[in-house]
Amino acid sequence: MPPLALPSGGHDILTVMLHALTGRHVAHEPTARIFALNLVRLTDVAVREYEAAQSALELHAREWVHGNFSSYFEGVGHLEQCLTAMHRALRFADRLRQAKNAPKIDRAKLRMMGVDQIRVLRDAIQHLDDTAAKGLLTE
């Protein structure tokens, strides 16, 4: 898995997300502020889960020949949590986009971030048991 290209100085997710989407700072209206803070929080979760998945899958790549499969399952679990957090963050971004007196978020930028693809992946993960029960999965 490739590493994330984040600005130096750690996970300054507030700057990364809000400036990427709006180029401005968070609105002062309470509802918009709630949307913005949750967007930031969930983006941070997604980044941390991605990095944890990367570490676990790199460990698996080094140790699978020794029968270590727990790191594989750990990595997959982190990727699932990453996608779920990304899905939720993008829903908050869409809510923020619609909020009064909030920074303007370009819907086209949300689409370019793959909001529809992330939703499809998240839904597939969340409903995997139903898909399997219907006999739609193969080994």
pLDDT tens per residue across span 1-16: 777 666 554 455 555 5
Q: Which residues contact 54 (CB under 8 A, 6 or more apart)?
A: 1, 3, 75
For residue 2 the two structure tokens come to 């490739």
DSSP three-state, residue 15? helix
Contact yes or no for 72/64 (Cβ under 8 A): yes
Task: State pTM to two decimals.
Answer: 0.77
78 burial (CB, 10 Å; 0-12 / 13-18 / 19+) is buried
| Separation between Cα atoms, residue 100 and residue 103, nearest integer Å | 9
SS (H, E, C) 45-109: HHHHHHHHHHHHHHHHHHHHHHCCCHHHHHHHHHHHHHHHHHHHHHHHHHHHHHCCCCCCCCHHH
For 59-110, what is each residue's pLDDT tens digit? 999 988 888 889 999 999 999 999 999 999 999 988 988 888 777 777 888 7
